[in-house]
Amino acid sequence: MSTHQTQVVIIGGGPSGLLLSQLLHCKGIRSIVLEKHTREYVLGRIRAGVLEHGFVNLMREAGCSGRLNREGEIHAGFHIAHQGRLDRIDLAKHTGGETVMVYGQTEVTRDLYEARDVMGGVILHDVQNVQPHALKDARAYVTWEQDGAAHRADCDFIVGADGFHGVSRKSIPAEVLKEYEKVYPFGWLGVLSETPPVAQELIYARHERGFALCSLRSRVLSRYYIQVPLTDRAEDWSDAAFWTELKRRLPEQVAGQLETGPSIEKSIAPLRSFVAEPMRYGNLFLAGDAAHIVPPTGAKGLNSAASDIYYLYHGFLGHYLQGDSTALDRYSEQALARVWKAERFSWWMTNLLHRFPQGTETDLRLQRADLDYLFSSEAAQASLAENYVGLPY
Ligand code: FAD
Ligand code: DHB
């Protein structure tokens, strides 16, 4: 068995794991990233597209913001289509000038991989049977297999950034971990197409037939979603059927402008609210999707992962550079306080804009009242805007 020595072993080479490893490296703290899949596979996943300014600041601090600054689009507002109207939420006006950036998760991940390569960061791909050990001992270790050989890394800490289906959360004893979960009775069918976006800003649409979202990645790349039953399969949706259904859910003036084309990616994501508490067990820290999932309405998934990394990074800085573990010891409590607010916001926005299959006439009237209130109250719009641009860390 080959043995490695490091300070932090990071399980998972998604955005959470890569960002943390890059930030730590910039401060001289050593880590190894263990990723189950190939780099091509990780970069092939099309996921989030809207970054809070806090995330952008972290990418800057990690020295990874060159391309993001050039190619990312600043958005100072977005639209909500409902009852035949198209209303705008002015993010900048309601937040003292804050905005969000449209820049895909795939590009964030690509930039982080490149920065890790330039600095000689250790990222091991295609690793199998990753297992954390000795979580309650003075030092922990992780074992794995690669190309048929067994490996081990001794470390001070393990960070579980291995997503919802990873091994890290499962390593915490069931009697310690409490899981909170809500599964929604629908999914999002997403399409990526090489067509100009239908509008310059995002449009979230509430419609009798179900939710729809018009988003984008660039001036020539669009991302659209429609709410679908959980029983649907992406391969059963032809491109033509997708475009027809999307247009039916958009206001006429928007649908008339929509430019369609062949899809270059099509997939269905289920919607779930999930939180695991605590986010620390001994030497193991959970971060990102390994600890929590939000339904995507409001774009808080990737951004909540980034806020965990912010708290964890500052915890490690205190521990390693100042010999003060106070922030590290408060990690779970601090991260969870912000996570639950993102959970609340995503749950609210999901309820506001989706058609619930078992929803009653009363539910519909309450939903309509919620929307009417939103666009009749500056305070309600300010609350939405404050959450959308991202609550402070
Ligand atoms: P992940 O990106 O899941 O990364 C975890 C990594 O760990 C993966 O690369 C995985 O291969 C690796 N791994 C897993 N198990 C192991 C193991 N045992 N050993 C080693 N490595 C392992 N958010 C939004 O805001 N908007 C969206 O539109 C949106 N769409 C989404 C669509 C889908 C299908 C999914 C799954 C998520 C979506 N999200 C979206 C959420 C957002 O993408 C996540 O919040 C974000 O990816 C979290 O980053 P992460 O690094 O914590 O986890
Ligand atoms: C995107 C996804 C979201 O969940 C959202 O709220 C906004 C944009 C996107 O993939 O572009």
- Residue 298, classed as helix, strand or coil, is coil
The alpha carbon of 101 is separated from its chain's Cα centroid by a whole number of angstroms, namely 14
- The reply to whether ligand 1 has any atom less than 6 angstroms from the CB of 132 is no
Distance CA 235, CA 77 (A): 34
Catalytic residue among 296, 310, 331, 354: 296
DSSP 275: E
Burial of 373 (0-12, 13-18, 19+ CB in 10 A): exposed
Residue 196 known to be catalytic: no
Ligand 2 mean position, distance from CA 13 (Å): 21
181 CB-near residues (< 8 Å, 6+ apart): 272, 273, 274
pLDDT given at position 46: 87
Q: Two tokens at 315?
A: 């915890």
DSSP 202: -
Q: For residue 49, what are the CA distances in angstroms to 26, 192, 305, 349?
A: 26, 12, 14, 17
Find the farthest-apart pair of alpha carbons in the chain and give their distance in angstroms, rounded. 66
For atom 3 of ligand 2, the residue with the nearest CA is: 299
For residue 73, which amino acid is it?
Answer: E
Distance CA 109, CA 41 (A): 12
**Radius of gyration (Cα) for the chain, nearest Å?**
21
Q: Measuring CA to CA, which residue among 32, 43, 5 is closest to residue 130?
A: 32
Q: What number of CA atoms fall less than 13 Å from residue 165's CA on the CB side?
A: 2
Distance CA 290, CA 159 (A): 10
pLDDT given at position 222: 97
Spell out the long-range contacts of 167-171 with Cβ–Cβ below 8 A and sequence spacing 24 or more.
167/11, 167/130, 167/131, 167/132, 168/11, 168/12, 168/132, 168/284, 168/286, 168/290, 169/276, 169/286, 169/290, 169/291, 171/131, 171/132, 171/135, 171/281, 171/284
pLDDT in tens, the chain (393 residues): 899 999 999 999 999 999 999 999 999 999 999 999 999 999 988 899 999 999 999 999 999 999 999 999 999 999 999 998 999 999 999 999 999 999 999 999 999 999 999 999 999 999 999 999 999 999 999 999 999 999 999 999 999 999 999 999 999 999 999 999 999 999 999 999 999 999 999 999 999 999 999 999 999 999 999 999 999 999 999 999 999 999 999 999 999 999 999 999 999 999 999 999 999 999 999 999 999 999 999 999 999 999 999 999 999 999 999 999 999 999 999 999 999 999 999 999 999 999 999 999 999 999 999 999 999 999 999 999 999 999 999
Residue 300 known to be catalytic: yes
Q: Measuring CA to CA, which residue among 211, 215, 246 is closest to residue 352?
A: 211
- The DSSP bridge partners found for residue 106 are none
For atom 47 of ligand 1, the residue with the nearest CA is: 302
- Write the DSSP assignment of 55-66 as a string of letters: HHHHHHHTT--H
For residue 167, which amino acid is it?
Answer: V
Distance CA 246, CA 205 (A): 10
For atom 15 of ligand 1, the residue with the nearest CA is: 166
Catalytic residue among 207, 300, 319, 354: 300
- The reply to whether ligand 1 has any atom less than 6 angstroms from the CB of 37 is yes
pLDDT given at position 368: 96
Q: What is the pTM of this model?
A: 0.97
The alpha carbon of 294 is separated from its chain's Cα centroid by a whole number of angstroms, namely 8
